[in-house]
Amino acid sequence: MDVAAYQHPHGAGIDWQSVAHTGIQFAAVKATEGTYYKNPYALGDLARARAAGLSVMAYAFAVPNGNGGASSPAAQANYLVNYLSSAGGRLPPIMLDIEYNPYGAECYGLSPAAMVSWITGFSNAIQARTGEDPVVYGPVPWWQQCTGGASQFRQSPLWVPDYTSAPRPELTSGWKNWAFWQYSSRGVVTGIPARGNTDLDLLNPGVIPLLDSGSQTVAAGDPVDLHVESADPVAGQTLSFSATGLPAGAAIDGSGHVTGAPQLAGRYTATVRATGRGGRSGSVSFPWTVKGSGPAAGPAGTVELGRTGMCLTAGPGPAAVVISVCSGQPDQAWTLPPGPMTSQISGLCLSDGGGQAVDLQGCDGMAAQSWLAEPDGTVRVDGQCLDVPGSATAAGSPVVLRSCDGTSAQLWNLTRTSGG
């Protein structure tokens, strides 16, 4: 559900324990409007709802023309964050309520292009302050009229109002799915004094709405510390996180915590996925730029499968990569990670060919060629490990990429060539 000062008639308080006992699991609380209004009950409601076991979200009612206050989207975003920060502790997820103007022109006098620019400015300011883009509350007709059906915010979870008897809401233009559905404005909830006037909402039972961490930029070799989280961390809900496309040197744990130190300069697209009970899942992708030259490419050397005497070999086909008896020949000389693994015989780079494929392609410095040798003996790219299917050791056996499992088929010895 979502509440505002209206749910406190004559200053009456909300009994959040009673609300929780009705089975309601999450609550969005209006905190600010423009830069001229702070809901005096918001901080208390957020704290008490959270203490009662609900997941919470704070929202700003956007006023793009200012209505006597500042019209700047950054000013309205900072007004919200500053108010929430005054309570101390970790900020809740944030929602941008952008909809019909209750005080005048429906689109606040802005053209669709100007409205899109305003929303972008608000989102950027929230991301800069919190590390996450906001959830977007967007009524279908208003969004179409006032933004022209803009699609560039589809990474943000959608909260859509649609008072219908249909089994699902109409989708706001630009989104492929909804995260929250406001299905009634006439709810009666035990514990809320404003009976018959509470907005009721439903969390999409098949989707985990992950908050977009926005574009990331870091210097090669610098540490990273990033949390990817759900917009609705329901109590008792256990999520498992994984990622692909992270820069070499960065890794994610099962709780969505990304750490490490990216090693190779380049532009990457990281995709984080969360899974939960009952088949629920969600994903979010964001660009990641690693600046600087990063560590120099390693010296030439061999990549041996364990102590089997079989080495990573370029050939025999024009793009094939196999293992064969270690011979010290040029087709077994590679630059050693960190950096691209360049074949000394062909000038091509070992590359993630998509799926499980490993092949040789023209060196381009992109994520698919950003290999990293880990202390555990694995050689990794895009969060996967170089692997010999079936733990084969026969000459000519192909190599592939698979989920890292620590088996002998994924343990390699990188040996610098004498004088290399």
User: What pLDDT does 151 receive?
Assistant: 95
227 vs 311, higher pLDDT: 227
**Residue in 15, 99, 170, 331 annotated catalytic:** 99
Which residues fall within 8 angstroms of residue 338, CB to CB, at 6 or more apart? Answer: 248, 249, 263, 264, 294, 295, 297, 298, 371, 372, 373
- For the cut 50, the answer to whether the pLDDT of residue 230 exceeds it is yes
What confidence category does residue 393 fall into, taking pLDDT thresholds of 50, 70 and 90?
confident
420: pLDDT strictly greater than 50? no
Clarify whether 99 is annotated catalytic. yes
Domains of the chain in sequence order: 2-203 (3.20.20.80), 216-291 (2.60.40.10), 300-416 (2.80.10.50)
DSSP of 355-416, one letter per residue?
TTEEEEEE---SGGG-BEE-TTS-EEETTEEEE-GGG--STT-B-EEE-----GGG-EEEEE
Three-class SS state of 208: coil
Instruction: Report yes or no on whether pTM surpasses 0.75.
Output: no
**pLDDT, tens digit, for every residue of 257-312?**
999 888 777 888 899 999 998 888 999 999 999 887 544 445 667 787 777 787 78
DSSP 91-137: PPPEEEE----TTS-TTTT--HHHHHHHHHHHHHHHHHHHSSPPEEE
Residue 8 amino acid letter: H
- Choosing from 2, 33, 212, 229, the catalytic residue is 2
Query: Is 97 one of the catalytic residues?
Result: yes
Give the count of beta carbons closer than 10 Å to the beta carbon of residue 159.
27
Which uninterrupted H or E stretch holds 314?
strand 310-314
- Cα–Cα distances (Å) from 305 to 123, 319, 373, in that order, read 48, 20, 13
Annotated catalytic residue within 45, 97, 132, 359? 97
CA distance 159 to 101: 18
Among candidates 379, 420, 400, which has minimal Cα distance to 323? 400
Task: Out of 184-198, 230-244, 262-276, give the one with best mean pLDDT.
Answer: 184-198
